[in-house]
Amino acid sequence: MVVGSGQGLVNVMHAAEVPIVLGAQSLTPVWLETVLKTYTEWIHPASAFTIVAPLLFGVGKRTTAVHLLLVAGISDLTNLLLKWTIAGDRPYWVDDRVRQFPMTCEAGYGMPSGHVQAFTTVTYFLLMRWAASRSVMFIHTLFVLTGAFSRVYTGAHFPTQTIAGWAVGATFGIGGHHVLSSTRA
């Protein structure tokens, strides 16, 4: 076992989650690994700025794109500040049995998950903006759960870190929509 760099109750909790990460890694079929690694890259926080917003601009949804950039930028900054404040270790810092992947060689703290937070912020913002149906929201939930699982499987995060990322992201996505709803695109 490797001792993590962070301190406090949050890292005691994370140490208790190591068996969940190890279980996810050992019980997931080999064929699914490529899918999970690709998905974890697809939900990268930079996607809001490099893919989604330019696409919205391209299809004439300029106000939506600007609002999304504002909400995603504030959410991303908040993620950084929370990571520095909470200082939650990553699974591969806590236990050397956790398999680490090249795309998850993260140097910063892991609480909350930036990937899950960014994906949730962007998608909730857009789904609220476009008044998505319940069935679309259900499908969205499956995508969020897949993203969270991919982050646990790749050893980048503990389950609680992905849950925290979802909670913060949902707050920014839904809250950002409500704050900016008077100037809909």
Return d(Cα 144, Cα 113) in angstroms, integer: 12
Active-site residue, from 14, 67, 115, 177? 115
Whats the size of the chain, residue-wise?
Answer: 185
Return d(Cα 98, Cα 80) in angstroms, integer: 24
Mark whether 14 is an active-site residue. Answer: no
Angle at 142 between CA 83 and CA 109, to 5 degrees: 10
**How is residue 80 written in tokens?**
């950084």
Active-site residue, from 44, 157, 177, 178? 157
Distance (Å) of CA 13 to CA 50, 130, 161: 35, 38, 11
Mark whether 115 is an active-site residue. Answer: yes
Whether a cis peptide bond, with omega within 30° of 0, leads into 29 is no
Cβ-count burial 84-108 (b if 16+ within 10 Å, e if not): eebbbbbbbbbbeebbbbeebebee
| Catalytically annotated residues | 115, 157
